[in-house]
Structure 1
Amino acid sequence: METADDAARWARLAELDQAAEAFEPRADNTLRSYASDWRVWERYVAAAGIPLEAGTPGAFLGFVIWLGKEGKAPSTIQRNLYGAAVSLRERGVAVHPDGPKKAKKAVDALARMLAEAGEQRGRGKAPALTVMQLRAMSKALPDTLKGLRDRAILTVGFGMAARRSELANLRAQDVAVTEKGLQVFARYGKTGARSPAIKKGENEWTCPRRAWVAWAAAADLDPDGPAFLRFNRHKMLGPITAQGIGIAVTAAAEAVGLDGVTGHSMRAGLATAAREAGHDYRTIAVQGGWAPNSTALHEYLRIVDQWADNATAGIGM
């Protein structure tokens, strides 16, 4: 016979099961992105004069048209659209299933129209850094404390095909120096924690082990503290942010005349350089923490593969 205590335990279990169904852990970057998308949605509904919690096909289609008139790139519109739909559902709005689908078709139509007109919106995809470009950027950095930090960011980031957030979240103790190079423990990532090994470099300016050792010694890093610190002029402060990582990479690139380089260029660069060196998909995916059958990784490798297996080769053109 069930007692009052038994009933209370079952009730508590039901509460935990309900919480488990609603549980969806999200990275800080994702949460910030959704918040930004929601603010864009708020501006749209105010301009359109419609309810804030409108989840109809017309509301979503109007959102795409409004963003298009504001000059937004299709990729930005798609992200805003997805973020707004997620935020509406989280607020209990019954989003019409055809709404996001029809809006996505409108985004695709805008992309085709812009392509036919030869109009490019947004900065486009970040270019992949080559090893020679990485070397030039590293060599041009001054041997100051900040220069040593940025050289370590560049070489370690390239070697592990790091996301900006992965570098920002590294602790000093997460980077182990070995005879063969570095063993890095990335605590957070889209595919979970990973531990890429980075071999010693063949060149002094692109050697991750050499760059890390020089930076860690000069900064006298606390093993329990952040691997990379931010600066206020020449004074070290707290841990660097993901945005700070991107700023450091872009500044190093601009110093040697490279335009359009972002923090993501290191990640794309490792993928293409490794493919050119003959490494297979799985090896590259493991190094950079790409998910199996990652569309993004396939696109990077295609940059190299399109020349290795090309339809115009050997046809006598």
Structure 2
Amino acid sequence: MRVGFDTLCRRAELVALRAEDLAGNERGNYSILVRRAKNDQTGQGRIARLSSETSALVRRWLGKTGFKQGPLLRPVYQGQLLQRYLEPVTISRVLKKLAERAHAAVSTEQNVSGHSLRVGTAQQLTLNGHDVLQIMRAGGWRSMAVVARYIENVGLDLWS
């Protein structure tokens, strides 16, 4: 789920990520091409950058699996890693299970969805002091109004 958080991907975008679209930078972190998005129907794509921690996890994953191309995230069935893409609904199910394991309040757990990574990242970036234009660029948003809806409930304490 770290890849989803770092990339601000919707669940369909997340499951469509490909191993061959990863690129390393001089600091040893990865970036990845998000080929198509809901608001990018022509498929121009955007580059999403991964944090050092997520890059290390992806590097370990690639080392263990040997993937060089095809789906970055894949389903496991009866202990076997399948050579196909995950279904988008799987992201929602995994997030709900993680919320349950974290002993989240029932109301929180029920509201967790595949979009929670995108909303949560936008809110965390706001709390970290990033401005709306930076968040828009990172998430591929074209409308400031949409980002404003995502971050409107962030509890900023401007006087601390």
| Structure 1 unaligned spans of 5+ | 1-153, 201-206
Is residue 2:50 matched to residue 1:195? no
Which residue pairs with 1:124 in the alignment? Answer: none
1:24-71 Cα shifts (integer Å, max 9, x gaps):
xxxxxxxxxxxxxxxxxxxxxxxxxxxxxxxxxxxxxxxxxxxxxxxx
- Conservation of the 8 A alpha-carbon contact between 2:127 and 2:156: no
Q: How does 1:25-64 map to 2 (within 5 A)?
A: none
**Match of 1:275, SS?**
helix
Which residue pairs with 2:100 in the alignment? Answer: 254
Is residue 2:61 matched to residue 1:209? no
Which residue pairs with 2:75 in the alignment? Answer: 230
Q: Please state how far the C-alpha of 1:254 moved relative to its aligned partner.
A: 1.5
1:3-41 Cα shifts (integer Å, max 9, x gaps):
xxxxxxxxxxxxxxxxxxxxxxxxxxxxxxxxxxxxxxx
**Match of 1:183, SS?**
strand
**Match of 1:185, SS?**
strand
- 1:300 is aligned with what amino acid? Y
**Match of 2:118, SS?**
helix
Is residue 2:6 matched to residue 1:155? no
Which residue pairs with 2:16 in the alignment? Answer: 169
Is residue 2:129 matched to residue 1:278? yes
Distance 1:252 1:233, change over 3 A: farther
Give the TM-score normalised by the residue count of structure 2.
0.83
Q: Which is helix-richer, 1 or 2?
A: 1
Among 205, 220, 226, the alignment partner of 2:66 is 220
Larger radius of gyration: 1
Q: How does 1:77-226 map to 2 (within 5 A)?
A: 154-178=1-25, 179-192=27-40, 193-200=45-52, 207-221=53-67, 223-226=68-71
Among 133, 152, 155, the alignment partner of 1:302 is 152
Distance 1:175 1:246, change over 3 A: farther
Cα distance between partner residues in 2 of 1:190 and 1:291:
11
- Conservation of the 8 A alpha-carbon contact between 1:250 and 1:263: no
- Conservation of the 8 A alpha-carbon contact between 1:168 and 1:240: yes
1:63-89 Cα shifts (integer Å, max 9, x gaps):
xxxxxxxxxxxxxxxxxxxxxxxxxxx
Q: Please state how far the C-alpha of 1:271 moved relative to its aligned partner.
A: 0.4
Cα distance between partner residues in 2 of 1:212 and 1:184:
11
Cα distance between partner residues in 2 of 1:187 and 1:269:
22
Give the TM-score normalised by the residue count of structure 1.
0.44
Q: Please state how far the C-alpha of 1:197 moved relative to its aligned partner.
A: 1.7
Q: Please state how far the C-alpha of 1:308 moved relative to its aligned partner.
A: 4.3
Q: Which is strand-richer, 1 or 2?
A: 2
Cα distance between partner residues in 1 of 2:156 and 2:76:
43
Distance 1:242 1:256, change over 3 A: same
- 1:199 is aligned with what amino acid? S
**Match of 2:35, SS?**
coil
**Match of 1:229, SS?**
coil
Is residue 2:88 matched to residue 1:242? yes
Cα distance between partner residues in 2 of 1:183 and 1:307:
29
Percent identity, aligned pairs only? 26
- Conservation of the 8 A alpha-carbon contact between 1:196 and 1:286: no
Q: Please state how far the C-alpha of 1:164 moved relative to its aligned partner.
A: 0.4
- Conservation of the 8 A alpha-carbon contact between 1:180 and 1:199: no
Cα distance between partner residues in 1 of 2:50 and 2:4:
10
Instruction: Indicate the RMSD between aligned Cα atoms, in angstroms.
Output: 1.9
| Structure 2 unaligned spans of 5+ | none
Aligned residues: 148
